Structure 1
Amino acid sequence: MLRIRVAFCVKNLARGTEAARQKLLKDPDLDVVEYGCTSYCGICRNYHVAIVNGKPITAETPEELLTNIDEYIDNELLDQL
C-alpha cells in the first residue's frame, strides 16, 4: 500500500497553515510531519504549502490547501495503487 506523507515547513505553519495541518493530523491514512525547512522557500514565502510525497502543493488559504491536497491525492496518488 502506498503511504502518503504530508510535510510542512514550520515557518509556513506560523503563517496560518497550522489550521490545515491540524485537520490532516486526524486522518490515520496520512503521515503528517513538519520540518525546519522543506527547501521550497520561494513558494513558501508567498503561499500556504504542503509537500505531498515530494510534490509541493500550494494555495492562497489553508482551506484551499486542504482541497488541493485532497484533489492531488485523489487524482494523482491513488492511481499509483
Structure 2
Amino acid sequence: MQPMVEFCINRLTSDVEEIKDELEEDPEVDVLESACLGNCEICAETPYAMVDGEIVTGENGKELLKNIRKTIKDQQKKLDDLLDLL
C-alpha cells in the first residue's frame, strides 16, 4: 500500500506546489489535491499536508517536504514492525 499525501488547494503556495509536483513524480507516493481538508486553522498558519490522515507541517516548503518524507518513513517502519509480529 502506497502512502497518500493530500494537499489543500487553498494552501498551494508556490513552494508547496513545487513539493506536490515533486511527490507526484515519485511512483511510491499517491498525491491528491482536495478543495478542503477540514484543518482551516492549521492551513491559515503554516504549510501543511496530510500523510495517510496524519497532519504534517513545516515552516516552509523545504521543511514540509522533509517532514512528509520522515512521516512516510516512520509510518512504513510501524507497518513493517507490525507485520513482523504476525
Task: Name 2:21's counterpart in structure 1.
Answer: 22
Q: Which runs of 5+ in 1 are unaligned?
A: none
Task: Name 1:36's counterpart in structure 2.
Answer: 35
Task: Name 1:76's counterpart in structure 2.
Answer: 75
Distance in 1 (alpha carbons) for counterparts of 2:73 and 2:60:
20
Task: Name 2:84's counterpart in structure 1.
Answer: none
Report the TM-score when normalising by structure 1: 0.89
More strand per residue: 1 or 2?
1
Alignment of 1:37-76 (within 5 A): 37-76=36-75
- CA shift in 2, pair 1:37/1:15, >3 Å: farther
* Structure 1 segments (4+ residues) deviating >6 Å: none
Q: Which runs of 5+ in 2 are unaligned?
A: 81-86
Is the counterpart of residue 6 in structure 1 residue 1 in structure 2? Answer: no
AA matched with 1:69: I
Which structure has more RCO (C-alpha within 8 Å, separation ≥ 6)?
Answer: 1
Question: 1:27 Cα deviation (Å)?
Answer: 0.5
Distance in 1 (alpha carbons) for counterparts of 2:43 and 2:15:
12
When the two structures are aligned, how many residues end up with a matched partner?
80
Report the TM-score when normalising by structure 2: 0.85
AA matched with 2:72: I
> CA RMSD of the aligned region, Å?
1.3
- CA shift in 2, pair 1:15/1:40, >3 Å: farther
